[in-house]
Homo-oligomer: A and B are copies of this chain.
Amino acid sequence: MAIRLFVTGGTFDKEYDEVRGRLYFADTHLVDMLDMGRCRLDVEVRTLMMVDSLDMGESDRELIARQCREVAEDQIVITHGTDTMVDTARTIAEADLGKSVVLTGAMIPIAFGSSDGLFNLGGALTAVQILPPGVYITMNGRVFDWDKVRKNRDTGVFEEIEA
């Protein structure tokens, strides 16, 4: 059975605009990253949106949750901006899908040579195959239940909290 990979944007996919000197979104790097990881899983990639997660609204989260419900796959990885990743995880958890859903992101854009993205993607694709149905966040080696994690805005680090 294939794994579904939903792309929503986030730091993962930010590009550098060399004329204007700022970051923006173009196409996703996820397919290239699966190639670089020589990924031997059957992964179906679909881009749902390409936004900074600070710009996501509740309707965006509902759309993501609905897509998770509608696809045939029971194992779903979502690449997502880190700032509101926990919020989207909650919306999906509340949809009570009975599927394994893992959200992941990156602190550094993939387009930079030194991104953590490939490490995080390897973790997310591994976690989604092993974990029981539920909604999880994997970042920087750690695996969190959706309701026991927050992003520390000062340090940028995902931390465990009491549920």
Contacts and interface: CB of A to CB of B under 8 A. Distances in A.
B107 A18 contact: yes
A37 interface: yes
List the number of copies, as a whole number: 4
Contacts of A108: 16, 18, 38
Nearest to A126: B123
A43 B22 CA distance: 29
Nearest to A18: B107
Contacts of A109: 16
A52 B20 CA distance: 12
A85 interface: no
Given A40-B157, A116-B36, A116-B37, A126 B111 contact: no
A109 B21 CA distance: 9
Interface in A124-148: 124-127, 129-131, 138-143
Given A36-B116, A122-B123, 5 more contacts: A111-B114, A119-B121, A122-B126, A123-B123, A123-B126
